[in-house]
Structure 1
Amino acid sequence: MIGKIIVDIPVAQVNRPFDYKIPKKFEALIQVGMRVKVPFGSRHLLGFVVELVDETNFDGKLKEISALLDYQPFLNQELISLAHQLAHDLQVFEISMLEAMLPNMLRVKYETRILIHDRQSFEAEMGILAQEAITKEDLEAKLSAYRIRKLVDQGIIELEYHVVDQTSQKYIKMVEPLLDQTGYQAILDNTPANYRNLRALLNYLRDVDDKQAIPAKSVMTDTKIDYQVLKRAQDKGWLRLNQVQAYRDPLKHLDLERSQKQDLKPEQLRAYETIALAIDTEKNDTFLVEGVTGSGKTEVYLQLIDRVVEKGQTALLLVPEISLTPQMVERVVGRFGQGVAVLHSGLSTAERYDEWRRILKHEAKIVVGARSSVFAPLENIGIIIMDEEHESTYKQSDNPRYHARQVAKLRAKYHHCPLVLGSATPSIESRTRAQVGNYHLITMKDRVNQAPLPPVQIVDMSQMLAQETLDEFSPLLKEAIQTRLDKQEQIILLLNRRGYSSYLMCRECGHVIQCPRCDISLTYHKHDAKLKCHYCDYREQVPQTCPQCGSRHLRGHGLGTQKVYESLQSLFPQARILRMDNDTTRRKGQHEQILNQFGQGQADILLGTQMIAKGLDFEKVTLVGVINADTSLNLPDFRAAEKSFQLLTQVAGRTGRGAYQGQVIIQTYNPQHYVLHFAQKHDYEGFYYYEMQRRHMAAYPPYYFMTLITVSSKYEGKALRKVYELKSQLNQSITGTNRDFILLGPSQSGIAKINNQYYFQLLLKYKQKSQIDQALDIILESNQSEVKNGIYVTIDNDPLFFM
């Protein structure tokens, strides 16, 4: 038997399966999708089995697979085929795609070991006695790379590479009673009264109704004994101590209540019946559900999932980011119980691994999670749902740069099931596909409670500046906050910028303190007196004097959530305030903790960045305030208007969802901007058609497809030469034969330097991807050799990030 193996080396020269002989001892065990250890040159590497065949075209002697890392495949045949297709579509290496599909715990590490063949010569070179085990780090601390290479060439030492598997299972101790009630009572009658611990255990075991195994931790807690007492009892033959494998439960901290199906309103019922027909007929249709905030899209999702599960199929529900997950998870698990697996970045590595195994063992029929859960190894999928489909977090920002919607379409096609895309503000591209009939458009214009969408007031902050009364809050917003506090209602305030001040500037010389590794100013964080870079995570203490002129007059400029939090405490000292941004949610579980506090009425005001704008449903929220609507309007991104409109519409939808009337106040220095005009009217249709005109004039998506080619290097000159070389190469291979091809650049990235790397970009616009595929493949392959010169070329099809 021959195994075709993709080897863990992400370079063009080995971006193909290699044939390996399967030893007899593995033939009955090996399956497609398993991870194996294989010899490759002088090393042993991880490999993925992508095919098993009986013959090979290789003329030489085949090497054998060294070891199986798994005894079950972690990727099924569908995912293996999907990785192959995505590698081609995204211009990435197949091994990169396969590894992206797996939880981190299933990605191996490599360990270099030093074998000493001539101990005397080695000790003479090192100047010390050789230890039994010497590490690569020990060796490099003593000798130069040249000397190490010479020792290897002379055969004095050998470098041996080992694959270190990171997988681990959780085990718990169990107590298995061996006697019946009569037996334990007889022993108890003969046990002296002063043997209190043993008597407590015997009483407990006698009274256990079900003589099944019990977690040892529970026994010890209930009887107040330690583990040594259990071991003594085992020695006496009263019980048996077993160790069993257990899953880590990521939902153990949630107090979930079972929820029941709700009666669907007419618009909900129409959406449900339309999609249910595609489920029953196994049609691979894509549905765009455009429903205003509060229209009951989630209940439709849950009832569609229920229909699929009743048919014996599985379901995949995607949410865009971890902040959306807690409430959605509670609703899904509350409806379907333990048959739900959760996959998102907020879980520990071990928890994600255990959830993955539950899916493989068919113990979970429903998966809910963020972007990477689109690769969950579900079989017989009956429906795939993407909630808030417009969110940019569905796009992976580094290699492999896949979009979850792209992957979901391929999986839905494979399983002959519908794909449901839901949003109050669909992406321009998705809405256009619905307009031309590629997607089925389903609109839900009414809220479930029949309440009107909240009125939106625009406050011109430039008028506040003219009156010299400027602070973070307009008089209107301050008055509205106080009114809600007096009524014991709740408030959500949005400022999409964390930190205390955007930058620190010297008032005498105008110097702004920059990140030494990036072409951007450092953000001032007051609570720990640090300046931080939000791109490379560089940190430094706030200087006492200006580094340029020595002045002590340094002042923070711009607004961040920390500063607004401080102002709120000063203006409303009686208010209970929670802040939710990347700084307050770094530790596991902090998202849920903050949202639970707010949901249980333990706070009056929730202040945060965009993570509070979506998916939250709190009945007592009657006021939403946007501190500064301009933070994202003026970014150098053709989607800036779309993202701003979506954010404002989503955050406005957090109020007026229950019995209370809601209100929205948006503060801006740009009150005439068209985005604010449409957001004030909750007019997605008007915004869509206006934005389409602008996109058409500028030849942007959805009228053109785009690819972003980025060249980076520590050396600005090298990166610049390379990007011009690529431009020339593309002009020769594409421009001459293609009128619909537009090449923009080279230009510096929005941030020219990040973490000591200079970035230059080329932007390609075209009508058909097939027109540029060959040219991009050549770039991918030919630029592998540039890596050793410190030049990196990346290709991003359908880019969402330009900074």
Structure 2
Amino acid sequence: MVRIAKLIVDVPLMQTDQPYSYRVPTEFEDLIEAGMRVHVPFGNGNRLVQGLVIEVETGNVSDQDGLKDIVEVLDVRPVLNKEQLVLADQMRETVFSYKISILKAMLPNLLNSSYDKYLRATELLADDERDALFGQEDHMRFTDLSVEAQVKVMRLAQAGKIQVEYIATDKQHIKTESWYRVDSQALEGFEISNRAKKRQELKTFLLENPESGKLVDLRQSFSGPVVKFFLEHGLIQEELREVSRSQAYFKAVPSSQPLRLNAEQSTAVAAITASIGQKAQTFLLQGITGSGKTEVYLQVIDQTLRQGKTAIMLVPEISLTPQVTQRFISRFGEQVAILHSGLSDGEKYDEWRKIEAGKAKVVVGARSAIFAPLTNIGTIIIDEEHESSYKQDSHPRYHARDVALLRADYNKASLVLGSATPSLETRARASKGLYQRLVLSQRANPLAQVPSVQIVDFRDYIGETEAGNFTPYLLEKIGEKLARKEQVVLLLNRRGYSSFVMCRDCGTVDECPNCDISLTLHMDTKLMHCHYCGFTKAIPQTCPNCQSRSIRYYGTGTQKAVDELQLLLPEARILRMDVDTTRGKGAHERLLEAFGNQEADILLGTQMIAKGLDFPNVTLVGVLNADTALNLPDFRSSERTFQLLTQVAGRAGRADKAGEVIIQTYNPEHYAIRYAKDQDYEGFYQYEMKLRHQMRYPPYVYTVGISLSHKDETFVVKQAYRVMTLLREHLSDQIVILGPTPKPIARTHNLFHYQILIKYRFEEHLSQVLDNILDLTQERENKDLKLSIDHEPQNVM
């Protein structure tokens, strides 16, 4: 009998998307576990590739004839736990991506790069074992050991006697500091010449201060050569100590106590916590802006921890502000781990290790934090659950909400979906009783009232003002607030300085040579940018078509709006917040901190200012143009407009000062704007659901989007019609197929893009047919064809 490991190899192709069997060498028989990574020979050339072990079984000797051996074990303990392996199997059924891509999405990037394993002794390792393995060193490299020693080390690591650190070959995995350890006995017996005054001073200092310290501090007090002398003679030893790169997030955050809940909040906390550990239950926590949903989350998590369980808290990427993260750190301290795209790979790795080691009990993060390697999960919370950013738009195309449902079911956990404006799909499930709906209908602060909302029709001011973004009424209101030393938030759902450059003589628009999209003017860099492929060029002075100098800038953007407002209100202190101004690390936090400290009067920005902000001195919110997203070719455009307007309106009047909201629009009668004005979610929900039913769109049907891209337009059209034919031949006549059609932006990166949208209710063989369609990319003629399948696409543009 031999041990056989089944593993998924890191070769993302359809024909390799299956388990492969390898023989486990005798020395590793009782060490290899599911969830570990290994190196194995693969293919005819026997090149070494990485694989993830998903199962280990015992087989007959005869059955293993022809099996190749595992060459190297990369982990001393699993990097993926049992639940994550089960999760990958479940996701493969609905996320049409290769299984290796799903598994790797659960790991930090640094574990998918080149690295060495370093070993350190723990306090559990006996002195004789320590001396035998480490000698005089405090750490060692795993690859320097013999196979026999590696096996011994793996056993010690699994027993907790050795700590294993994955350190990238570029030294980014672990951040360390050099510390010194004093050998007092050696120091006391060491003779130093009386003429070496500095050495005598250091000896005296070390004898009086024998505790360890940072070498950098020692070198600041004593010269480098003096410290080097003590190191060379063994009077002090240098040792590397790990530094957590995320520790800065926890500094100077004062602890906080739970707030008093109102009746609705108390009911919500009681209902959610009662189901923990019983069976998976999903709750829709529908609360108006300012109703205290975050305090409900905090107290639910507190109750979860008291039951000995762990919790995941997801927020949209753009809401991961210091205001949000600090509320959780202040309540739960070092038990919190933070995961989001703003962290470096090293910081993410530090947080992953903290979670994996069981030191973190609460994970706060964006979409990918749903894969955090927590065990015994009691609660999963998704705040602003309607946000489309919870859907991954590249492989693997998962929705965090769907993954959360699977994890909640596995752990018998409570899943909380919170929003003032739930997605129609979530609200519909609650109406059918699939989710339990909990309502917070009043603001948590009894002094804070829902702001008054006014609609301003842009058409009433045509020809009256040169200010393209600001009506006289909005300017008047801004002036009133500034005179009272109150603050203003202005939303512009665009970015950059000007949308495009156009010739007034022939109408030519300056476009990207690689993509069918106009270039965007950025005045800060004095360049034209393509926001798809990154192409840049100088601002044109003449038309590229007719050489006319009658070239002008059209459209609007945040920078242009700031410049315009500064001319109209020169005394105003304005902060601009968009993708460009928050690109640098920590820029987001610095801008919000400055605004919170009232170093600015006006915060003007894009969608990222619409949610998660809580500034008591903000009494006016202005939406410069509510129509931006209304006419997009997407069936969710009205829903997203309503959600955005409702969310940004909630930034006003959150304390004891009354709040006002002014929405500028060219479409004041549009139902999304009218319902947003009245803050009437239920009215909007009923109206929009009737339209969705008539047009057969979610939540009345399911959808699948298929995208095909290729450098040859004729070729990609041919393949798109071939896909459509396969769908019609193998699926029922109840299915609705829209397309193939070019995408609204039909060419980017010199590739032509076509799409097909499937609408269906029940299709028994759909998964099999879609897998067969994925197989098309394995054909030789299709090697350059990019094909993706997206279950429930969030954008159908």
With the length of structure 2 as denominator, give the TM-score of the two structures. 0.89
Q: 1:96 to 1:236 in 2, by over 3 A?
A: closer
* Pairing 1:275–2:277 present: no
Measured against aligned partners, the alpha-carbon deviations of 1:218-252 in whole angstroms (never above 9, x if no partner) come to 4445xx33554433334455533222334322534
For residues 332 and 252 of structure 2, the distance between their equivalents in structure 1, rounded to whole angstroms, comes to 15
Could you list the per-position Cα deviations for residues 328-362 of structure 1 after superposition, in whole angstroms to 9, with x for gaps in the alignment?
Answer: 21111111111111111100011111111111111
Name the residue aligned to 2:58.
54
- Indicate how the Cα distance of structure 1 residues 32 and 667 shifts in structure 2: closer, same or farther if over 3 A, else same: same
Which residue matches 2:90? 85
Q: 1:688 corresponds to which letter in structure 2? A: Y
Q: Which residue of 2 aligns with 1:20?
A: 22
User: Does 2:520 correspond to 1:523?
Assistant: yes
2:555 matched to which residue of 1? 558
Hey, what does 2:624 align to over in structure 1? 627
Q: Structure 1: state its 5+ residue gaps.
A: 111-162
Equivalent of 2:103 in 86, 98, 103:
98
Q: Superposition pairs for residues 111-122 of structure 1, below 5 Å?
A: none
Name the CA distance, whole Å, in 2 between partners of 1:743 and 1:332: 46
CA distance, structure 2, for counterparts of residue 653 and residue 205 of structure 1: 62
Q: Which residue of 2 aligns with 1:512?
A: 509
Identify the match of residue 761 of structure 1 among 755, 765, 769: 755
8 Å CA contact 1:502–1:524 kept in 2: the answer is: yes
In 2 relative to 1, CA 474–171 (structure 1 residues): closer, same or farther, beyond 3 Å? same
CA deviation string 1:550-574 (max 9, x = no partner): 1112111111001011112222222
1:695 equivalent in structure 2:
692
**SS of structure 1 residue aligned to 2:238:** strand
Equivalences, count: 739
Deviation at 1:201, TM superposition (A): 7.3
Query: Is the Cα contact below 8 Å between 1:342 and 1:369 reproduced in 2?
Result: yes
Q: Quote the residue 2:357 is aligned against.
A: 361
1:474 to 471, 474, 479: 471
Post-superposition CA distance 1:425-477 (Å, at most 9, x none)? 10000000000000000000100112221011111111211535552111111
Query: Which amino acid is the alignment partner of residue 384 of structure 2?
Result: E
CA apart distance, 1:594: 1.1
Query: What per-residue deviation string (whole Å, max 9, x for no partner) do you get for residues 146-192 of structure 1?
Result: xxxxxxxxxxxxxxxxx989973222222223439xx99x8999996
Between stretches 257-266 and 785-794, larger displacement belongs to: 785-794
Contact 1:718 1:791 in 2 (8 A): no
Aligned match of 1:45 in 31, 45, 49? 49
- Aligned residue for 1:179? 184
Paired AA for residue 375 in structure 1? F
SS at match of 2:316: coil
2:262 corresponds in structure 1 to 265
2:777 is aligned to: 783
Shift of 1:213: 3.1
Gaps of 5+ in 2: 116-167
Residue type of the partner of 2:56? Answer: L
User: Match for 2:414 among 415, 418, 424?
Assistant: 418
Q: Deviations over 1:359-415 (max 9, x none)?
A: 111111111100011000001111100011000000000111100000000000000
Q: 8 Å contact 2:465–2:471 — kept in the other structure?
A: no
Matched residue of 1:603: which SS?
Answer: coil
Task: State the identity %.
Answer: 47
Moved more, 715-724 or 584-593: 584-593
Residue 645 of structure 1 aligns with an amino acid whose one-letter code is F
CA distance 1:292–1:189, shift in 2 (3 Å)? farther
Q: Deviations over 1:226-280 (max 9, x none)?
A: 554433334455533222334322534853111111111111111111111112x
CA distance in 2: counterparts of 1:757 and 1:198, whole angstroms:
72
Task: Supply the AA of the counterpart residue of 2:538.
Answer: Q
Question: Which SS does the other structure have where 1:90 is aligned?
Answer: coil
* Preserved contact between residue 530 and residue 540 of structure 1 (Cα < 8 Å): yes
Cα RMSD, aligned residues only:
2.4
Against the structure 1 CA distance between its residues 55 and 167, is the aligned structure 2 distance closer, same or farther, given a 3 Å change threshold? farther
Matched, 1:440 2:436: yes
| 2:467/2:564 contact within 8 Å kept | no
Quick check: 1:288 aligned with 2:287? no
**Match of residue 605 from structure 1:** 602
Amino acid at match of 2:434: N
Deviations 1:78-114 (A, max 9, x none): 101111221122122111111111111111369xxxx
Q: Which amino acid aligns with 2:259?
A: Q
1:455 partnered with 2:452: yes
Question: What TM-score, normalized to structure 1?
Answer: 0.88
User: Any conservation in 2 of the 1:323–1:591 contact (CA below 8 Å)?
Assistant: no
Q: Distance in 1 between matches of 2:634 and 2:207?
A: 68
Give the Cα–Cα distance (whole angstroms) in 2 for the partners of residues 508 and 488 of structure 1.
Answer: 47
Q: Deviation of residue 589 (structure 1)? A: 1.3
Give yes or no for contact 1:341–1:366 (8 Å, CA) kept in 2.
yes
Match of 1:388 in 2: 384
Q: Distance in 2 between matches of 1:191 and 1:486?
A: 74
Q: Which amino acid aligns with 1:590?
A: A
Which of these residues, 174, 177, 200, is aligned with residue 169 of structure 1?
174
**What residue number does 2:711 align with?**
714
| Correspondence for 1:352 among 344, 348, 365 | 348
> Which residue does the alignment assign to 1:493?
490
Q: Supply the AA of the counterpart residue of 1:195.
A: K
Matched, 1:343 2:339: yes
Distance 1:642-1:251 versus aligned 2 partners, 3 A rule: farther
- 1:582 pairs, out of 579, 582, 593, with 579
* Shift of residue 774, structure 1, vs aligned partner: 2.1
Report the residue type matching 1:328 in the other structure.
V
Find the aligned partners of 2:444 and 2:754 in 1 and give their Cα distance: 49
Partner of 2:424: 428
Matched residue, 2:70: 65
**Aligned ranges 1:26-37 → 2 under 5 Å:** 26-37=28-39
Q: 1:463 to 1:35 in 2, by over 3 A?
A: same
Following the alignment from structure 1 to structure 2, what is the Cα–Cα distance between the partners of residues 665 and 84?
Answer: 49
Write the distance in 2 (CA, Å) between the matches of 1:519 and 1:99.
33
- Determine whether 1:681 maps to 2:678: yes
1:310 corresponds, among 306, 309, 329, to 306
For residues 176 and 107 of structure 2, the distance between their equivalents in structure 1, rounded to whole angstroms, comes to 22
Correspondence for 2:743? 749
The residue aligned with 1:156 is: none
